[in-house]
């Protein structure tokens, strides 16, 4: 009985570290996407709608009608 409890407590920190790094990666990705959308909409920079045009061109490349 105590052996199973010890094995469970040994594996918990490894799972927690992996979960922590996964959560940090997801948060970093969300921040990056938020920055890109804000950049595209002119909230961060007034460089135009580059991301929008890129996605628009991608739609045309796939043959999806949009006009």
Interface with Zn ion by CB under 5 A: which residues?
66-67
Q: CA-CA distance, 26 to 62, in Å (whole number)? A: 28
Between residues 42 and 58, which has the closer beta carbon with respect to Zn ion?
A: 58
Between residues 30 and 49, which has the closer beta carbon with respect to Zn ion?
A: 49
Between residues 46 and 67, which has the closer beta carbon with respect to Zn ion?
A: 67
DSSP 10-40: HHHHHHHHHHHHHHHHHHHHHHHHHHHHHHH
Tell me the closest approach of the beta carbon of residue 56 to Zn ion, in angstroms. 5
Contact between 22 and 14 under an 8 Å Cβ cutoff? The reply is: no
Residue number of the CB closest to Zn ion reads 66
């Amino acid at each position: 009985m105590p052996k199973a409890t010890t094995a469970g407590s040994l594996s918990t920190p490894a799972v927690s570290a992996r979960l922590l790094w996964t959560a940090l990666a997801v948060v970093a990705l969300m921040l990056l996407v938020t920055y890109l959308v804000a950049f595209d909409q002119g909230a961060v920079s007034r460089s135009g709608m580059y991301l929008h045009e890129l996605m628009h061109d991608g739609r045309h490349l796939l043959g999806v009608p949009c006009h």
